[in-house]
Structure formats: structure tokens, C-alpha cells
């Protein structure tokens, strides 16, 4: 029933009973219980058409609490604040402070989160925080087990520090998994069947969802396809399909590259590199197609710009000819915002877990329900590299 209220629309007991399939008496009891939660619901007594018995109308109070989603990166990290319905109130892009310990980086995340809530939360309390991290997590999400992009978060200290200093529910997720959750919750892709999201950025990884549920392996390494070896001399998928890997590979061939524009130019100047990249991508997609038979493979990340739509269509045809699996390969609907919106979906699930709302119920909500819309003007964006403030951990 709470999932229905997350639409943000005013409703009554009769409508809730029709939508949920529950009896009206059960809905009456549930609404009464929710009305006991301070500030959760707005309540209004209305007399339809001015005649007949009055009807109690209820709707979720969007100021009940705010949510914060974070996508952590070694260079620039992103923070977004939304109301409890997932509508954006503000966003910040912040330069990630370099050379910090795990505890110092955790304190920086906590400080920036609290400042964002204080400045843009309009007095609403923080309800939950979710952090997308560039690395694999253990199945219990208590520690990061591998992060080439940001190695200082490896181990339990970073996660433990944030959990102990934030007095609200906190969720952590691999950033690729968060991106796929964002696409399922906010994008146009169907959650039915199998959907795979391939992220090509500083590294290469994939997230897999079956009937809306994201798969997690026993070690947290499921989908880390960038580690696959392609040639006898040890060339890996991530050496050809990630920015960091290809930069290193090109430097070894006498092409020093400093930015993505230069990287694209170097690729076009060297037909051999272009062929290697295309072969590596074909190989990766063929493995994913055979392993999961997805109806859709979404591609995202800054490096994926080197594979425009016409190339993706060609890959789909070649893979179908090779392994006899038909799949739609296209760019992710939300682009670089996928992981940030996925973090908000996770924060919403964390906030309402006490009421029995599941991740799957949130993902099944219509995209318009959670579409991030700034209530007044454009999202607030700031760039800073403030040092972290020490945070007292109980």
C-alpha cells in the first residue's frame, strides 16, 4: 500500500483497496497505523459532490524526510538530494579530495551529505543515504573487496565509518549495480526478463538483472568482465575498453594521451587499435549474450562514446550471427545519471524498509513516479575540494 502512496497522488481507502487487492477493512487499519507515524501522511476529509458520507483522503508528505544519493569516484563525486518521493531538490559535483585515508574519505562524504541537507533540505530531516562505490562489495555489503579506481576504500573501514557516523539507514552498492537499478527505476527499459548494463569508464564491468532483481555473486566479482584475458600476451578486456586501460596501452605504442578527446583521435589514427577494440567489444558482448541471453544490453560510461549507435547495431548483428542470441544493444537512457538515480532508489528502499517496502516494489513503480524534477529552477551544482572535517564516531 505504501508503494501506491509513493505515487505522490492524493487517494482514499476505496482507491487503495482497488489498487492493492486488499479488503477495505485492512486498508482502513493500515492507513490508521500510517497516520500514527509523525508527519508521514497528509490527511483531508472531503465530501464528494457535496453530498453523502465524507471520505478521508490521504497522500504522502513529500517533506517527511529527504534522501541523499552519492556516486563516489576518484576524480569527481556526485551528490543528489531529493524529497521522499525521489524528486530532486539539488545536486553537487565535487572534486574528490586526494590522498586521504579511508576514515578521512568517509568523513568527507558524511560532511558533504550533512551540508547538502542543511543548505537545501528546507528543514526536512535526512531519511536515508545511499552510496555507489567504484568497486566490488561482499554480499553482505560490509566491505569493498576490490577498487582499482579508488583503492583506499578497500576493506571494511570506509563503510563502517559512514555507518557509525550517520544516524540514518545507509546502503552501499557497486556503482554499476546502482546504474542498472537507476535504469530499471527511472528509465524506459523493461524490468522483465534479463537486462544487462555494461559500464565502460575508467574500468569495465557489467550488472545483470533478472526479473528486476540484480544478481550478486558469492565474492562480489560477478560482472567484472574487464579482467578477462584476450591474448596470449596478457592483453585484457579493460586494456582495450576502458579509458585508463587504453591510455596505458596506447602509451606503450608511442601514443601519449591526456584526455578523452585525444584518446578518440588516437584510436581513429591507428586502424589496428580500432580493430582490436571492436574485436574485444564483440567478444565481451558474445560472452554476455551466451551467459545470460538478455533481451537488452545497455551501454554507458564516458568511454562508451567511442561506440556510437551504428557500431552498437553492427555488434548486435554480428553477435546474433555468431552465437544465435538476439539482443538489443543500445545506449543507457539516463547516461551518466543512471548510478546517481539508482542511489536514490536505494536510499528510498532503505528509508521505507521499516514499513516492509522492498527494492523490487520500488523498481516496479512507474518511471514518472520517481522522475527527478527540481521544484524551483535548475539543480544546484557546485564544485569544490574542501578538506574533510573530522566526524566523531560513537
pLDDT at 207 over 90: yes
Query: Rounded distance, CA 40 to CA 58, Å?
Result: 10
Superfamily name and number for 190-332? ATPase, nucleotide binding domain (3.30.420.40)
So what's the pLDDT on residue 159? 95
Average pLDDT estimate for 54-72: 85
For 2-60, CATH gives: 1.10.10.10
Q: What is the spatial distance between Cα 325 and Cα 259, in angstroms, rounded to a whole number? A: 36
Q: Residues 177-204: pLDDT tens digits?
A: 999 999 998 888 888 899 999 999 878 8
Q: Which of 233, 212, 232, 215 is nearest to 224 (CA)?
A: 215
CA–CA gap between residue 45 and residue 30 (Å, rounded): 17
The predicted pLDDT at position 158 comes to 94
- The long-range contacts involving 302-308, CB below 8 angstroms and separated by at least 24 positions, are 302/200, 302/201, 302/243, 302/260, 302/336, 303/200, 303/201, 303/241, 303/242, 303/243, 303/246, 303/260, 304/198, 304/200, 304/331, 305/260, 305/264, 306/263, 306/264, 306/267, 306/277, 307/200, 307/281
Which has the higher per-residue pLDDT, 58 or 159?
Answer: 159
Task: pLDDT band for 361, please (50, 70, 90 cuts).
Answer: low
Q: How many other β-carbons are positioned within 10 Å of the β-carbon of residue 122?
A: 12
> Does domain 66-181+336-370 fall into CATH 3.30.420.40?
yes
User: What ranges do the domains of the chain cover?
Assistant: 2-60, 66-181+336-370, 190-332
| pLDDT-wise least confident of 166-170, 215-219, 323-327, 375-379 | 375-379
- Nearest partner of 388 among 60, 70, 190, 95, judged by Cα: 95
Using alpha carbons, list the distances in angstroms from residue 303 to 208, 224, 331: 20, 16, 12
| Cβ neighbours of 119 (radius 10 Å) | 13
Specify the length of the chain in residues. 394
92-112 pLDDT tens trace: 999 999 878 999 999 999 999
* CATH topology agreement for domains 2-60 and 190-332: no
The DSSP 8-state label assigned to residue 131 in this structure reads E
| Full-model pTM | 0.80
Amino acid at each position: 500500500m505504501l508503494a501506491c502512496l509513493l505515487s505522490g497522488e492524493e487517494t482514499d481507502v476505496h482507491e487503495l483497496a482497488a489498487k492493492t487487492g486488499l479488503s477495505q477493512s485492512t486498508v482502513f487499519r493500515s492507513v490508521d497505523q500510517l497516520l500514527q507515524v509523525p508527519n508521514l501522511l497528509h490527511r483531508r476529509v472531503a465530501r464528494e459532490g457535496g453530498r453523502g458520507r465524507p471520505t478521508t483522503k490521504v497522500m504522502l508528505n513529500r517533506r517527511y524526510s529527504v534522501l541523499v544519493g552519492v556516486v563516489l569516484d576518484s576524480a569527481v563525486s556526485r551528490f543528489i538530494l531529493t524529497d521522499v518521493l525521489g524528486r530532486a531538490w539539488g545536486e553537487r559535483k565535487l572534486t574528490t579530495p586526494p590522498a586521504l585515508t579511508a576514515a578521512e574519505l568517509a568523513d568527507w562524504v558524511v560532511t558533504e551529505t550533512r551540508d547538502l541537507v542543511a543548505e537545501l533540505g528546507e528543514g526536512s530531516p535526512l531519511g536515508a543515504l545511499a552510496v555507489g562505490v567504484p568497486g566490488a562489495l561482499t554480499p553482505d555489503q560490509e566491505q569493498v573487496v576490490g577498487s582499482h579506481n579508488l583503492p583506499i576504500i578497500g576493506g571494511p573501514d570506509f563503510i563502517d565509518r559512514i555507518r557509525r557516523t550517520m544516524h540514518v539507514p545507509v546502503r552501499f552498492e557497486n556503482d554499476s549495480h546502482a546504474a542498472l537499478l537507476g535504469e530499471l527505476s527511472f528509465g524506459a527499459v523493461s524490468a522483465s526478463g534479463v537486462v544487462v548494463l555494461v559500464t565502460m569508464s575508467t574500468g569495465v564491468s557489467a550488472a545483470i538483472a533478472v526479473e528486476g532483481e540484480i544478481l550478486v555473486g558469492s565474492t562480489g566479482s560477478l560482472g567484472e568482465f574487464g579482467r578477462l584475458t584476450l591474448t596470449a600476451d596478457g592483453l585484457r578486456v579493460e586494456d582495450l575498453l576502458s579509458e585508463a586501460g587504453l591510455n596505458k596501452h596506447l602509451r606503450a605504442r608511442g601514443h601519449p594521451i591526456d584526455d578523452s578527446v585525444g584518446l578518440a583521435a588516437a584510436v581513429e589514427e591507428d586502424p589496428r587499435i580500432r580493430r582490436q577494440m571492436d574485436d574485444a567489444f564483440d567478444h565481451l558482448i558474445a560472452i554476455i549474450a551466451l551467459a545470460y541471453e538478455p533481451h537488452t544490453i545497455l551501454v554507458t560510461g564516458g568511454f562508451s562514446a567511442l561506440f556510437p549507435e551504428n557500431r552498437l547495431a553492427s555488434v548486435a548483428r554480428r553477435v546474433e550471427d555468431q552465437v544465435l542470441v538476439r539482443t538489443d544493444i543500445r545506449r543507457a537512457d539516463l547516461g551518466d545519471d543512471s548510478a546517481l538515480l539508482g542511489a536514490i532508489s536505494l536510499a528510498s528502499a532503505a528509508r521505507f524498509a521499516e514499513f516492509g517496502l522492498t527494492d523490487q516494489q520500488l523498481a516496479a513503480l512507474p518511471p514518472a513516479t520517481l522522475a527527478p524534477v527540481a521544484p524551483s529552477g535548475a539543480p544546484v551544482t557546485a564544485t569544490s575540494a574542501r578538506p574533510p572535517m573530522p566526524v566523531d564516531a560513537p
